[in-house]
Structure 1
Amino acid sequence: MLTIIDALLSPAEVSQFNQALADGPWQEGKISAGSQAAQVKNNQQLDDASPIAHTLRGALLHKLAAHPVFMSSALPNHIYPPKFNRYQQGAHYGLHVDSAIMPMPLDSHSAHSSGHMLRTDVSATVFLSDPNSYDGGELSIETQFGLQHIKLDAGSVILYPASSLHQVNPVTKGCRVASFFWIESLVRSHEQRATLFDLDQSIQALTLTLGNNNPEVKRLSGVYHNLMRCWARH
């Protein structure tokens, strides 16, 4: 399941993010890559320990926690603190799959591991650059329905199974800036998450037309929560 959330960040918030990132401490992206991914990774990454990174990831996590579609789609148990990357002309990230298990940082101020391991169920990318300001740079994801090329408006986010093969196509003009992170979901199976998401969206739509007290709305809500009891792992 691919979930696109338009305008997670407002234009003003996107501008604030980009102004802060413009003078940020950028590093070679290979620093954070695994041995296989490092062979195909060619980009820059913001220093996770910098004050700018701390401020921006806190703001982004706040927005995510308040967004009902994100919460319904990802069903987050733990969220890896968001990172930020930059692709200038010629940069790319070749075909790869994200690591299944990642060590969580100690806290929001540190890039050191806390010892807690996060299972990556969902990958996320928040686009921060105007799509008309750069050529190339599409996020290409291999899905059961074929290869999907994603290039969203600044401030929008895509969620997709972390098990997917994917790549960032070469940027041939301009600069592509984004945030990326992973989610350990309460529901490990992406098929089960998709079922719960569809059911939740239907319940929300029916609630608007029939009201909270409608017996069928209550019955469907019960089905949703009982499925969560069956499938959730906490």
Structure 2
Amino acid sequence: MIKQIPHLLSADQVREIKSFCEKADFVDGRISNPHSKVKNNLHLGDMDIYEKTSQLMMDALAASEDFQNFALPHNIAPPLITRYEIGMHYGLHPDSAVIPLPQGPLRSDLSCTIFLNDPNSYEGGALRITLGDSAMRFKGAAGSAIVYPSNTLHEVEAVVSGQRLVAISFIQSRIADNARRHLLYELSEVAALEGLGMSDENHNRLQSVKYNLSRMWMDV
């Protein structure tokens, strides 16, 4: 399942992050994957600015009820800002199963793209996610995010004009299996949508199913 989060960052937060980027150094994105034949982008290379911007986005992810309910995060890689200039792209690929971090390895169950500039400010550069024989394309509004399983084949189409600015993160969920995580999310959504219209008896039954499945499946 793919989850779009329309307002992860406020307009002020987006402006603050972009102001940091304007004075930051960017390096060849292949520094994180030197053997890749499909990666052609730039990564934020300034460690001080990386720490400031990633913490701002980590706080936003922690505060997002939509993200927390969908991802059930156990560990989150600090978001790294990535820039695509004209002609740059990232060919079709799955994300690595294990992401090395200073505090230890992270199993990538979910990937997250946080959009940082107006989609009308650049042509091309869509995130294209392959689902079986079909594909979905995304160019989110500034401040929005999309979360999707890391094992899906996906790519960033070539930028034709302008500049694409996003941040990328990876999430180790408390439930590794995508289908099981989706079932728990659906149960939470039903409970939230029914709200006070559900009888106490049925609400308790629904919560009991959700909690017992969580006990069976969840890594804590």
Do the structures match in fold with TM over 0.5? yes
Q: Is the contact made by 1:25 and 1:50 (CA closer than 8 Å) also made in structure 2?
A: no
Tell me how large the CA RMSD over aligned residues is.
Answer: 1.4
Q: Is the contact made by 1:86 and 1:178 (CA closer than 8 Å) also made in structure 2?
A: yes
For residues 31-82 of structure 1, the C-alpha deviation after alignment (integer angstroms, 9 at most, x for no partner) is 00152xx2111110002x6111101111111111111110111010111111
Q: Aligned residue for 2:30?
A: 30
User: How many pairs does the alignment contain?
Assistant: 220
Q: Aligned residue for 1:11?
A: 11
Q: Aligned residue for 2:152?
A: 164
For residues 154-177 of structure 1, the C-alpha deviation after alignment (integer angstroms, 9 at most, x for no partner) is 100000000011100000000000
Q: Equivalents in 1 of 2:44, 2:56: separation in Å?
A: 16
Q: Aligned residue for 1:72?
A: 69
For residues 122-165 of structure 1, the C-alpha deviation after alignment (integer angstroms, 9 at most, x for no partner) is 00000001000000000001114711111110100000000011
Q: In the TM superposition, what are the counterparts of 1:54-203 in structure 2 within 5 Å?
A: 54-105=51-102, 114=103, 116-144=104-132, 146-203=134-191
**Per the alignment, in what secondary structure is the counterpart of residue 104 of structure 1?**
coil
Q: Is the contact made by 1:206 and 1:217 (CA closer than 8 Å) also made in structure 2?
A: no
Q: Equivalents in 1 of 2:7, 2:42: separation in Å?
A: 24
Q: Which runs of 5+ in 2 are unaligned?
A: none
Q: Aligned residue for 1:228?
A: 214
For residues 166-203 of structure 1, the C-alpha deviation after alignment (integer angstroms, 9 at most, x for no partner) is 10000000000000010011101101111111111111
Q: Which amino acid aligns with 2:117?
A: S
Q: State the TM-score, normalized to the length of structure 2.
A: 0.96
**Per the alignment, in what secondary structure is the counterpart of residue 16 of structure 1?**
helix
Q: Is the contact made by 1:83 and 1:181 (CA closer than 8 Å) also made in structure 2?
A: yes
Q: Equivalents in 2 of 1:65, 1:3: separation in Å?
A: 16
**Per the alignment, in what secondary structure is the counterpart of residue 195 of structure 1?**
helix
Q: Equivalents in 2 of 1:203, 1:33: separation in Å?
A: 42
Q: Equivalents in 1 of 2:56, 2:12: separation in Å?
A: 13
Q: Which runs of 5+ in 1 are unaligned?
A: 106-113
Q: How many Å apart are 1:11 and its aligned residue?
A: 1.4
Q: Equivalents in 1 of 2:206, 2:133: separation in Å?
A: 29
Q: Is the contact made by 1:102 and 1:120 (CA closer than 8 Å) also made in structure 2?
A: yes
**Per the alignment, in what secondary structure is the counterpart of residue 105 of structure 2?**
strand
Greater CA deviation, 49-58 or 187-196?
49-58
Q: Equivalents in 2 of 1:121, 1:84: separation in Å?
A: 20
Q: How many Å apart are 1:208 and its aligned residue?
A: 4.5
Q: Which amino acid aligns with 2:54?
A: R
